[in-house]
Chain A
Amino acid sequence: MNGRHSVLREIAAIVVLAVVLSLSYNAFSAKGLPLVRIPPVKVEVSDSVLFSTVEKVSRDTLPTPASAKGNPPVIAPLHERALRNPDSAAAAVVHENAAKRALLKIIKLDQLKRLLAQHRGVLLDARSEEDFAKGHIRGAKNVFALEVEKYFEQIVAIPRDTLVIIYCNNAECHLGRSLAEFMQSINFSNLVLYDDGWDGWTAAQMPVDTTKSGKQP
């Protein structure tokens, strides 16, 4: 009997420790998840809304890390400050953004084609570097959603009101949503998701680019 009780006590201690550590870590982590999962609401953007705003930045001007060095990192400290002081104004911004996170704006193939033809917006491929190298939409830049830290400097250098178009494999792929949520949390206000993604683009046999990597498979 003693034996069984002590096992249960150990299990209880482990579970309590796991709960405390996981929730604490999540609260302070940049990649924290909301405790209750919110299903994303996908809303199709109408042409009038999509094409009405005047673009300040064309997609060719996504800065390289070298050119971004001069810019002070403005938004990251905002986010950190907000996390440290829950009552500050910065926190209010972050929490407001969290509510907006559930809303994903979707564009369709013809809208994407028109945007690209007009050189509007920045096109980001949220998939892994390997997938990107094998083939990506012409003009896209790679920002692997699971490794946003690598691309952070490039991302924060983009003006926050720029139209950013994100895609990944298809409508079920989580990487696009993940990247969009991250960028929303650092105050990008004009994000759209090309939901049909790589699969939709290639199914319509649209122009693609590949990058040659050093390693051969």
Chain B
Amino acid sequence: MKALLSHRVLLLFSRTVLGIVFVLAGMDKIAFPDAFAASVEAYKLVPYGAVNIVALILPWLELICGIFLLGGEYLRGSSAVLSSLLVVFVFGIMSAMMRGLKIDCGCFGKEHATPVSWMKVVEDTGLFLLGIHILLFSGRKERAASSAPVAESV
């Protein structure tokens, strides 16, 4: 099982999916900071004054981690950050659902509609698992190789 999960191709799959999702998500939020700040405000999880700072930094975290995942560098750091963000997102969505918050005023059009739904929770959980996969299983071969030299074809 471990060998399967450590396999390059499977890791590449996780990295690619997670990387592309977050590069696109990050870019979209960076392009429309007002709309994203309004979303962050609507979830009512962050103190009002801090909403803008969060809305500014978070998309760049997403973009940078996505790029690193696609590029193959800082894999464990990036996947750790993204998995943590996904935990926050899932928590935020469920909190919004339970409190009956009105997140989407319907103003932003279809492309920017903020999804507060179980579907989104499922999606984010799936992405979270991909992140954990990368976090736990990338870099294993290098660490194993340093302690016990094994000839492996890469």
A residues near B, CB below 8 A?
Answer: 3, 6-7, 9-11, 13-15, 17-19, 21-23, 25-26, 29, 31-37, 39, 127-128, 130-131, 145-146, 168-170, 172-175, 178
- Shortest CB-to-CB span from A1 to chain B, Å, is 12
Closest to A7 in B: B76
CA distance in complex: A145, B35 (Å): 9
In this assembly, does B13 line the interface, its C-beta being within 8 Å of a C-beta of chain A? no
> B80 near A172 (CB under 8 angstroms)?
no
Closest to B135 in A: A7
Provided the pairs A26-B56, A146-B34, A146-B112 are in contact, do residues A14 and B74 lie with their beta carbons within 8 angstroms? yes
Q: Which of B34, B56, B65, B110 contacts A14 (CB 8 A)?
A: B65
Number of contacts between A and B (CB, 8 Å)? 110
> A26 near B33 (CB under 8 angstroms)?
yes
Closest to A24 in B: B60
> A21 near B105 (CB under 8 angstroms)?
no
Interface flags for B19-33 (1: CB within 8 Å of A; 0: not) read 000000000001011
CA distance in complex: A11, B74 (Å): 8
User: Which residues of chain B have C-beta atoms less than 8 A from A146's C-beta?
Assistant: 32, 34-35, 108-109, 112
CA distance in complex: A173, B107 (Å): 6
Closest to A4 in B: B76
In this assembly, does B139 line the interface, its C-beta being within 8 Å of a C-beta of chain A? yes
Chain B interface size, as a band, is 35 or more
The secondary-structure label for the interface of chain A is helix
> B48 near A10 (CB under 8 angstroms)?
no
> A11 near B34 (CB under 8 angstroms)?
no
User: Which residues of chain A have C-beta atoms less than 8 A from B97's C-beta?
Assistant: none
> B32 near A14 (CB under 8 angstroms)?
no
Provided the pairs A34-B52, A37-B49, A174-B35 are in contact, do residues A13 and B77 lie with their beta carbons within 8 angstroms? yes
**Most A CB within 10 A of own CB, among B60, B61, B139:** B60
Provided the pairs A37-B50, A146-B35 are in contact, do residues A14 and B64 lie with their beta carbons within 8 angstroms? yes
Closest to A131 in B: B109
Q: Which of A14, A29, A34, A130 contacts B68 (CB 8 A)?
A: A14
User: Which residues of chain A have C-beta atoms less than 8 A from B35's C-beta?
Assistant: 146, 174, 178
Interface flags for B73-100 (1: CB within 8 Å of A; 0: not) read 0101110110000000000000000000
Q: Which of B68, B77, B107 contacts A7 (CB 8 A)?
A: B77
User: Which residues of chain B have C-beta atoms less than 8 A from A7's C-beta?
Assistant: 76-77, 80, 135
CA distance in complex: A34, B55 (Å): 11
In this assembly, does B149 line the interface, its C-beta being within 8 Å of a C-beta of chain A? no
Closest to A197 in B: B107
In this assembly, does B7 line the interface, its C-beta being within 8 Å of a C-beta of chain A? no
- Shortest CB-to-CB span from B86 to chain A, Å, is 15
> A37 near B56 (CB under 8 angstroms)?
no
- Shortest CB-to-CB span from A20 to chain B, Å, is 9
In this assembly, does B17 line the interface, its C-beta being within 8 Å of a C-beta of chain A? no
CA distance in complex: A35, B55 (Å): 10
User: Which residues of chain B have C-beta atoms less than 8 A from A39's C-beta?
Assistant: 48
CA distance in complex: A172, B37 (Å): 14
Provided the pairs A18-B61, A21-B60, A33-B56 are in contact, do residues A11 and B108 lie with their beta carbons within 8 angstroms? no
> B64 near A37 (CB under 8 angstroms)?
no
13 other contacts beyond A7-B135, A127-B107, with CB at 8 A cut-off? A7-B76, A10-B77, A15-B81, A18-B60, A26-B33, A31-B34, A35-B56, A36-B49, A36-B52, A146-B32, A146-B35, A146-B109, A178-B38
